[in-house]
Chains A and B, each alone.
Chain A
């Protein structure tokens, strides 16, 4: 059982959340071209390492969170609200 420290609700069990996938896949601009869209939709780093991912706190605050979790140990090392995470990214990558 993962225990996820939600910035709004505190330490909560994994079953309150819904996984929403790789948070590094970033939608290209509309004129980004076929290769960029192919890569965005289908290709993943799928790392055996630290992994940045989206989790939706469905059974709590209903906020989308950006979590950094290790895919081998399942250790979680950072959690922040998606609004904060996106504002920290360059505008093109939001």
Chain B
């Protein structure tokens, strides 16, 4: 839909591009000298006292915003300020699922734009992000649920997006380990989006960081933003643990910490922070080649290329910034896993972790201006902002560069709450702990 989105990697803007292109040929040549010739992927920037744009938060959304500002809109006077090292936030904690199987038309269009950007991303960034469109399969267990999924599939197909309702037999063929006749929620069929899948999350952070740096963006790590400077109704920069940085535009892309940062500017947001956990088992031979979602039991799973089963469920359920999960949810998710796929009982869980997700009041994200001039918000991603990194970055860069919302993200503005135009996929109402 956005023609500019398909342009190829931009030419080098400064000497940093000397990090060079990655290729099979280069890998072979470096192999001859013990792989010692690789320079660091992105430059350690020497921060300047002022930038045209300061992006707070070096997660996927912040890095993609900076990259598209430079590569798509020619704005290279940009710094990304990250309190830790790149990639330790949710971008490196999620379960890596990409899909566009939403119900609301504006959501389908936005997330499908992201899916199309994912499909060409590795070439564009010159980075192997292991984009794998292996298909996402949602199970249904009642006739009412089947009608709902069919309606959703029809809605998506009307918008030109792939979706299929598949039979019980087809589910058995796709995921033989599923106990279709389990006593809790016997499986009637599934809802398949073949273009959905997974992407290696760390590589997304590193790939965008490298490409943004090559395009002229300063990536400033280990520097926490501790305040937001205002001149009346205008934001003019940020305070950090190592001094102030002035900026014409400050963009918050801090995921679970959105309210905390907004409070520094005196704003309250329609957001609550909650913990979402994920788990990974020991590695086994291939046994699952789609992303499988069991909504009735709050369990979803995929198998990583390394062989581990990566799985998760619902949020822990009460406000938290703790970045670690609690045991009751770990148990609930494991119970759902075993109901659906009893064979998993033989596997050991290797690791478990949690991330702080910014649950918005309608379950949809915010890419928005704010009541303060010069302050842009990218947040409210809930548990689904990884898949939206390319589209979210593009739309946020568009908003910063053009001053007007990206046509596919206009519905994500803050004003929607007061105006009564919430984008509530599931019709749950303003109860983030229930989303």
Contacts and interface: CB of A to CB of B under 8 A. Distances in A.
A48 B260 contact: yes
B335 to A, nearest CB: 12
A45 B361 CA distance: 13
Contacts of B320: 71-72, 74
B418 A45 contact: no
* Interface size of A as a range: 20 to 34
B268 A1 contact: no
Contacts of B263: 45, 47
A19 interface: yes
Interface in B318-355: 318-322, 326-328
B123 to A, nearest CB: 39
Given A15-B328, A43-B268, A44-B271, A71 B259 contact: no
Interface string B246-290: 000000000001011001000011111100000000000000000
A51 B433 CA distance: 15
A68 interface: no
B272 A22 contact: yes
A91 interface: no
Interface residues of B, number: 25
Nearest to B273: A46
B38 interface: no
Contact of A73 (B271, B273, B322): B322
Contact of B326 (A2, A44, A51, A69): A2
Contacts of A22: 272, 319
Contacts, number: 70
B204 to A, nearest CB: 26
State the majority secondary structure of interface residues on A.
mixed
Interface in B407-435: 417-418, 430-431, 433
A2 B317 CA distance: 12
Contact of A71 (B273, B326, B327, B418): B273
A69 B322 CA distance: 12
Contacts of B431: 21
Contact of B319 (A15, A41, A71): A71
Interface in A43-83: 43-48, 51, 53, 69, 71-74
Interface string A13-36: 111000101100000000000110
Interface of B: 257, 259-260, 263, 268-273, 317-322, 326-328, 361, 417-418, 430-431, 433
13 contacts: A1-B327, A14-B328, A22-B272, A42-B270, A46-B259, A46-B260, A46-B273, A48-B260, A48-B273, A48-B321, A71-B273, A71-B319, A74-B326
Interface of A: 1-2, 13-15, 19, 21-22, 34-35, 38-39, 41-48, 51, 53, 69, 71-74
Given A46-B271, A46-B319, A47-B259, 5 more contacts: A13-B328, A34-B418, A41-B361, A42-B417, A43-B268
